[in-house]
C-alpha cells in the first residue's frame, strides 16, 4: 500500500532486505531457497502470498512444527516419515468443504497445505499406547478419509474426524459448528454414555481448543522428549519432573497417561496407565546389585478413599538391578473419581548379602482426567434417573501390565496374579 503514496515510498517499499525479513518471518525461507528460486525477496514473498496468503497468521507456526517433527522422527523412527502424504491444493480443500457442507478452519487447511495427513499405517503419527491386552495407535487422517468420516448423526453432528485407530476404531473429532454443547473447532474423544437410553448421548473428553493449539502442543511434547519413542513408536506418556525419587543408588521415575477409549463419564470409570523406570547409578559399586522382591502401593482417590496393595514382584517378574542397568514396565489403574494419586515402595534384597533387605521409594504421582463435557442429551433427561455412582474402588491392575523393557537383562518366566 505504501508504494502508491509517493515515489520515495515506492522506492523504499521495494527495498529487498525488507522483504527478506518478511519472507523469513512468514514463510520461513532461507538464503539457500532464495538462491534456488533465483528471484528477489519481494518477488518470492508476493508469489507465495498469492497462494498461501489467507494462512499468513498460521503458516510459520505450523511449518515449523512439521519441520521439527520430521527432523526429530527422521533420526528416531524414519519409517513413520515415509507414511506422510504430500500437500493438497486449495481446490482440494474447497471440494471437501462443498462435500461436507461446512467450512474448514484456516489453521486446519494450512496444515494440510503442508502435509495431507498420513497413510493408514501402524504406527500412527499421533501416538500409540500398549498394554498386554490392549493396543492403540492413531493415524492423522488425510483430508479425503476425514471427509468420508464426517458425522451428521445425533451426538456427533457437524464433527470431522482428525485421527483414527484401526485397532480400536477410536478417533479424535473436531467440531465444525457450535452444536450439541460443543464450542466451534473444539477437539475431543467421543465417550458414549453407557447409562443413558438415548444412543445420541455422547460425552466428550476435550483434547484441544483449536487445530493449531492441538497439533503444535502435541509436536512440542514429541520433539522435546516429553513423549518417549519406544520400539519406533511415539508413546503418549507424560512425565512430571517431580515424579522422581532416589533411594541410595536407585532412582525411580514415573510417567502417566489417560486412556479415553477405556474410560467413561457415565458410569464414572477413569482409566490410567503408568510407566515406571527403575535405574541404578552407573557409579554404584558392583556389590550394590540387588533384586526386587515385592511392591507396596497406597492408592488415594479424589474423595480421600485409600486402598493399599501389596504383592510379590512387578508384572510377575523379579528384576535384577545392577550398576548402569535400567528396568521399565507399564501397569494401569482405574478410579471412580476424576483424579487420584499413587505412591509406595519396592522391597529389594542384595545379591551379595542375601539377608540384607531395603525399601526403595516410589514417588507420589497424580493422575487427572482431562476436561470433559456431558452430553446435551443427558442434560435434557431426568438427572435422578442417571445418578452417578462413585463408590467403586480404584484398583492396581497388574493383569493389564505391559511387558517391560530391560536392558541386557534376561526375562524371567511367569506372571504375577492381581493383588497377590
C-alpha span between 28 and 401 (Å, rounded): 45
Tell me the C-alpha distance between 319 and 292, whole Å.
6
160 plus 275 within the same structural domain: no
Over residues 226-252, the pLDDT tens digits come to 999 998 999 999 998 889 999 999 999
Q: Determine the pLDDT at residue 398.
A: 52
What is the C-alpha to C-alpha distance for residues 227 and 125, in angstroms, rounded to an integer?
12
Q: How confident is the model at residue 57 (pLDDT cuts 50, 70, 90)?
A: very high
Residue 234 lies in a domain: no
pLDDT tens string 351-360: 998 889 999 9
Closest CA to 219 of 127, 325, 343, 88: 127
User: Could you give the angle at which helices 41-52 and 16-27 cross, rounded to 10 degrees?
Assistant: 40
If one counts every other C-beta atom within 10 angstroms of the C-beta of residue 371, the result is 12
Report residue 395's pLDDT band, with 50, 70 and 90 as the boundaries.
low
My answer on whether 27 and 124 are in the same domain is no
Cell of 390: 462413585
The pLDDT of residue 220:
97
Residue 115 has pLDDT above 70, yes or no: yes
Please state, for a pLDDT cut of 90, what percent of the chain lies above it. 81
**Residue 42 pLDDT > 90:** yes
**Between 392 and 271, the higher pLDDT residue:** 271
User: In the structure, what pLDDT confidence band is assigned to residue 381 with cuts at 50, 70 and 90?
Assistant: low
pLDDT band at 172; cut points 50, 70, 90: very high
pLDDT, residue 271, reads 97
Helices 211-223 and 59-76, packing angle to 10 deg: 30
**Which residues span the domain enclosing 349?**
240-372
Mean pLDDT of 265-273: 96
The helix-helix angle for 106-114 and 90-100 (nearest 10°) equals 130
Mean pLDDT of 325-354: 95
Q: Does the structure show a pLDDT above 80 at 102?
A: yes
pLDDT reported for residue 4: 83
pLDDT class for 396, splitting at 50, 70, 90?
Answer: low
Clarify whether residues 31 and 65 are in a common domain: no
Could you tell me if 159 and 263 lie in one domain? no
Please determine, for residue 391, whether its predicted confidence score (pLDDT) is greater than 60.
Answer: no
Same domain as 62, residue 44:
no
Question: Predicted confidence band at 388 (pLDDT cuts at 50, 70, 90)?
Answer: very low
- Who's near 172: CB < 8 A, 6+ residues apart? 126, 138, 161, 162, 163, 187, 188, 189, 207
Look up the CATH number of the domain holding residue 188: 3.40.1580.10
Question: 81 with 159, same domain?
Answer: yes
pLDDT band at residue 406 using 50, 70 and 90 as cut-offs:
very low
**123 upstream amide cis, omega within 30 of 0:** yes
Residues 144 and 251 in one domain: no
Average pLDDT over every residue of 128-144:
94
206 and 304, same domain (yes or no): no
Residue 62 — very low, low, confident or very high, per pLDDT cuts 50/70/90? Answer: very high
Distance in angstroms (rounded) separating the CA atoms of residues 111 and 114:
5
- Amino acid 343: pLDDT: 97
User: Is there a domain that residue 290 lies in?
Assistant: yes
Both 206 and 278 in one domain: the answer is no
Q: Is the pLDDT of residue 294 over 50?
A: yes
Per-residue pLDDT, 91: 97
Residue 390 has pLDDT above 70, yes or no: no
Tell me 380's DSSP state.
T
Number of residues that this document lists for the chain = 420
- Is the pLDDT at 27 greater than 50? The verdict is yes
What gap in Å lies between CA 117 and CA 141, rounded to an integer?
5
pLDDT tens-digit readout, 343-352: 999 999 999 9
CA distance 293 to 295: 7
Domain count, the chain: 3
Is residue 411 in a domain?
no
So what's the pLDDT on residue 205?
A: 97
Instruction: Answer whether residue 27 is part of any domain.
Output: yes
Which pLDDT does position 1 carry in this prediction?
A: 79
Give domain status of residue 19, yes or no: yes
- Which of 372, 394, 409 lies at the terminal end of a domain, its last residue? 372
Residue 398: inside a domain: no
Judgement on whether residues 210 and 258 belong to the same structural domain of the protein: no
147 vs 65: CA distance, rounded Å: 24
Choice among 118-122, 268-272, 351-355 with the minimum mean pLDDT: 351-355
- % of the chain beyond a pLDDT of 70: 90
**100 strand-pairing partners:** none
Q: Give the C-alpha separation, 379 to 60, whole Å.
A: 42
Half-sphere exposure of 321 (CA within 13 A, CB side): 29
* Residue 400 predicted with pLDDT over 50: no
Measured at the CA of 319, the angle between CA 317 and CA 325, to 5 degrees, comes to 150
Mean pLDDT of the chain: 90
Cβ neighbours of residue 167 closer than 8 Å, sequence gap 6 or more: 122, 135, 136, 137
Count of helices and strands (H, E) across the chain: 11, 21
Cα-only R_g, the chain: 26
CA atoms of 326 and 320, how far apart (whole Å) = 9
pLDDT at 322: 96
Amino acid at each position: 500500500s505504501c508504494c502508491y503514496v509517493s515515489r520515495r515510498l515506492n522506492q523504499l517499499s521495494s527495498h529487498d532486505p525488507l522483504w527478506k525479513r518478511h519472507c523469513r518471518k512468514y514463510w520461513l525461507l532461507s538464503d539457500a531457497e532464495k538462491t534456488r528460486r533465483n528471484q528477489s525477496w519481494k518477488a518470492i514473498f508476493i508469489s507465495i502470498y498469492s497462494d498461501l496468503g489467507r494462512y499468513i497468521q498460521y503458516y510459520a507456526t505450523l511449518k515449523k512444527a512439521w519441520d521439527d517433527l520430521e527432523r526429530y522422527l527422521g533420526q528416531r523412527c524414519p519409517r513413520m516419515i515415509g507414511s506422510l502424504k504430500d500437500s493438497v491444493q486449495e481446490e482440494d480443500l474447497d471440494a471437501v468443504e462443498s462435500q461436507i457442507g461446512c467450512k474448514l478452519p484456516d489453521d486446519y487447511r494450512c496444515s494440510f497445505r503442508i502435509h495431507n495427513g498420513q497413510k493408514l499405517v501402524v504406527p500412527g503419527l499421533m501416538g500409540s499406547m500398549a498394554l498386554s491386552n490392549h493396543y492403540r495407535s492413531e493415524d492423522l487422517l488425510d483430508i479425503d478419509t476425514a471427509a468420508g468420516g464426517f458425522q451428521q448423526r445425533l451426538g456427533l453432528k457437524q464433527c470431522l474426524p482428525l485421527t483414527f485407530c484401526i485397532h480400536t476404531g477410536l478417533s479424535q473429532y473436531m467440531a465444525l459448528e457450535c452444536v450439541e454443547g460443543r464450542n466451534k473447532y473444539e477437539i475431543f474423544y467421543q465417550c458414549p454414555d453407557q447409562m443413558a437410553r438415548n444412543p445420541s448421548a455422547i460425552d466428550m473428553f476435550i483434547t484441544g481448543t483449536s487445530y493449531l493449539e492441538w497439533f503444535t502442543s502435541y509436536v512440542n511434547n514429541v520433539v522435546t522428549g516429553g513423549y518417549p519413542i519406544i520400539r519406533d513408536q511415539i508413546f503418549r506418556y507424560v512425565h512430571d519432573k517431580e515424579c522422581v525419587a532416589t533411594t541410595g543408588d536407585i532412582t525411580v521415575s514415573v510417567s502417566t497417561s489417560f486412556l479415553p477409549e477405556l474410560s467413561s463419564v457415565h458410569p464414572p470409570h477413569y482409566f490410567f496407565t503408568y510407566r515406571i523406570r527403575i535405574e541404578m547409578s552407573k557409579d554404584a559399586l558392583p556389590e550394590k546389585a540387588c533384586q526386587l522382591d515385592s511392591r507396596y502401593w497406597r492408592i488415594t482417590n479424589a474423595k480421600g478413599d485409600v486402598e493399599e496393595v501389596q504383592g510379590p514382584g512387578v508384572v510377575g517378574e523379579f528384576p535384577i538391578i545392577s550398576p548402569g542397568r535400567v528396568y521399565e514396565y507399564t501397569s494401569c489403574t482405574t478410579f471412580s473419581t476424576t483424579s487420584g494419586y499413587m505412591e509406595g515402595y519396592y522391597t529389594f534384597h542384595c545379591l551379595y548379602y542375601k539377608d540384607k533387605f531395603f525399601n526403595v521409594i516410589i514417588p507420589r504421582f497424580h493422575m487427572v482426567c482431562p476436561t470433559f463435557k456431558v452430553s446435551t442429551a443427558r442434560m435434557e433427561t431426568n438427572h435422578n434417573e442417571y445418578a452417578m455412582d462413585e463408590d467403586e474402588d480404584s484398583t492396581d491392575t497388574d493383569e493389564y501390565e505391559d511387558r517391560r523393557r530391560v536392558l541386557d537383562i534376561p526375562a524371567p518366566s511367569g506372571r504375577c496374579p492381581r493383588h497377590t
